[in-house]
């Protein structure tokens, strides 16, 4: 096959599908190519947490826009994303209290809905909380989670409705460049000529970038979450909760069920996306549980009933690479998402479409510019 498109998007994770939808509904002729299936990579195993509180104000503002899109999904996109409002609390140690409270006030002034909950409030709401080292938590009532797979599939189906062509089981082999400009994409099924390529291929983005002499500092790391069940909760379900010092995060899944992940670097070592170890034994799941149980006593006897293992596509500074690549005209990077991709997917989709049609990037996206990684 040798076909043509205005834009080829490589990678059908949540971000790639969001970009394809935004482009197609804006009138571009879009081809989305995926080496496996829609949402088969890291998006498919994502816990789908959507929240706003970040230490970086720019990230917090973008996360607010992403959360707003998920909350208004039916009117913006249509279909289902599975958004469920659970609230989310970010633990704050005594040493961090002054800085955290000042940051909360600054974000509140920017219109981000956050509350400071001192430890006394936490105890009233969660009587089993072990809080000797905590000053309180930052709480956001509208945070929650979505179904990442349903989100990606809805984006893909809506993109098709606007005329996008989606080729699954069709790996992109290389990005064609001539005279410093994108010419097309070579796939397993042949060539697609185009003037713009969006490289949203997750950890595989680095290989594709290297093949067109525009290398990217992206590496894959193994990431897992354990799903646990407790017998009975007498004080109501917990909201989402993140505790960096204690090394865990969690979100409720259904009554008596929690998804628990690790925030410790030694649980997320380097891996190959083509050969990631997807098994998580009970010992690993129990290790995650025990960290969380030191904070919430109700989890002490929780039983592992499931697990999800996948990978992140990480950058050295932990921020995505998002924007035009200055080395190749027509090449746009949307990779190295470092675990942030799902929260920002609606924002990234719109920003990529804006660039394709105007060749201008929004000022708030500068934190993710590819240039920052170049020597």
Domain ranges of the chain: 2-45+148-217+317-373, 88-141, 219-314
Task: Split the chain (375 residues) into runs of 10 and give each run's mean pLDDT.
Answer: 89 98 98 96 91 94 97 96 98 98 98 97 96 96 97 98 98 98 97 98 96 96 96 88 97 95 94 89 95 96 94 94 98 96 96 97 92 89
Architecture of 219-314 per CATH? Answer: 2-Layer Sandwich (3.30)
Residue 231 pLDDT: 86
Query: How far is Cα 261 from Cα 373, in angstroms, rounded to an integer?
Result: 29
Residue 182 pLDDT: 98
Global confidence as pTM? 0.96
Handedness of CA 366, 368, 374, 375 (dihedral sign): positive
Highest CATH level, class, for 2-45+148-217+317-373: alpha beta
Residue 111 pLDDT: 95
Residue 44 pLDDT: 84
* % of the chain residues with pLDDT over 70: 99
Residue 2 pLDDT: 64
Q: What are phi and psi of 260, to 5 degrees?
A: -125, 130
């Amino acid at each position: 096959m040798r076909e043509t498109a205005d834009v080829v998007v490589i990678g059908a994770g949540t971000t790639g599908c969001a970009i394809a939808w935004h482009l197609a509904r804006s009138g571009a002729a879009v081809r989305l190519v995926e080496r496996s299936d829609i949402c088969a990579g890291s998006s498919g195993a994502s816990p789908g947490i959507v929240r706003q509180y970040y230490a970086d104000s720019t990230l917090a503002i973008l996360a607010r826009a992403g959360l707003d899109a998920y909350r208004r999904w039916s009117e913006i996109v249509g279909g289902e994303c599975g958004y469920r409002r659970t609230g989310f609390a970010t633990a704050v140690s005594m040493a961090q209290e002054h800085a955290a409270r000042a940051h909360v006030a600054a974000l509140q002034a920017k219109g981000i809905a956050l509350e400071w909950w001192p430890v006394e409030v936490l105890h009233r709401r969660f009587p089993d909380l072990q809080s000797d080292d905590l000053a309180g938590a930052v709480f956001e009532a509208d945070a929650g989670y979505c179904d990442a797979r349903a989100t990606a599939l809805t984006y893909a189906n809506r993109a098709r409705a606007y005329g996008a062509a989606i080729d699954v089981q069709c790996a992109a082999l290389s990005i064609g460049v001539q005279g410093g400009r994108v010419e097309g994409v070579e796939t397993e099924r042949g060539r697609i000529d185009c003037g713009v390529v969006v490289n949203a291929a997750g950890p595989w983005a680095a290989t594709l970038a290297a093949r067109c002499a525009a290398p990217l500092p992206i590496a894959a790391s193994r990431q897992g979450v354990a799903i646990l069940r407790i017998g009975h909760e007498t004080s109501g379900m917990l909201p989402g909760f993140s505790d960096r010092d204690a090394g865990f995060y969690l979100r409720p899944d259904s009554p008596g069920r929690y998804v628990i992940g690790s925030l410790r670097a030694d649980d997320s070592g380097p891996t190959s996306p083509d050969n990631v170890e997807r098994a998580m034994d009970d010992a690993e799941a129990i290790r995650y549980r025990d960290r969380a149980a030191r904070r919430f006593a109700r989890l002490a006897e929780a039983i592992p009933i499931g697990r999800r293992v996948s990978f992140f596509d990480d950058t050295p500074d932990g921020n995505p690479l998002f924007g035009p690549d200055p080395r190749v005209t027509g090449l746009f990077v949307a990779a190295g998402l470092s675990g942030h991709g799902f929260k920002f997917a609606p924002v990234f989709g719109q920003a990529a479409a804006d660039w394709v049609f105007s060749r201008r990037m929004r000022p708030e996206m500068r934190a993710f510019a590819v240039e920052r990684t170049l020597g």
